[in-house]
């Protein structure tokens, strides 16, 4: 399903990681780099997204994924319920 939509390129390029054939340690693009980019975008636009909060939670608060892991690890984590903080 995802491959047919706007995330198709990402899905196809990360398929081996998402299917468990390759780990997340050797990152093409890290979760920490994505969080940094989301923070820069937020600072420039004045808008903080739910995605930035969720990624912050996954990396820093709950430590569900490491900042140095590939962004594909983000796809395999459970999101928190909307509006709920931990």
* pLDDT tens per residue across span 25-51: 666 788 898 899 999 999 999 998 888
Question: Distance (Å, rounded) from C-alpha 23 to C-alpha 27?
Answer: 9
Question: Distance (Å, rounded) from C-alpha 84 to C-alpha 86?
Answer: 7
Q: Specify the pLDDT at position 43.
A: 92
Question: pLDDT: is 74 or 7 the higher one?
Answer: 74
Tokens matching residue 69: 């892991």
Q: Specify the pLDDT at position 61.
A: 67
User: What is the full DSSP assignment across 4-63?
Assistant: GSTTHHHHHHHHHHHTTSS-SSS-SSBHHHHHHHHHHHHHHHS---HHHHHHHIIIIIS-
pLDDT at position 60 over 70: yes
pTM: 0.64
- Region 59-73 average pLDDT: 80
């Amino acid at each position: 399903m995802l491959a047919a939509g706007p995330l198709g390129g990402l899905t196809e390029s990360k398929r081996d990681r998402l299917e468990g054939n390759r780990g997340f340690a050797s990152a093409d693009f890290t979760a920490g780099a994505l969080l940094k980019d989301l923070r820069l975008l937020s600072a420039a636009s004045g808008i903080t997204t739910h995605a930035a909060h969720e990624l912050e939670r996954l990396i820093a608060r709950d430590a569900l994924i490491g900042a140095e892991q590939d962004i594909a690890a983000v796809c395999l984590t459970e999101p928190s319920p909307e509006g709920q903080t931990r």
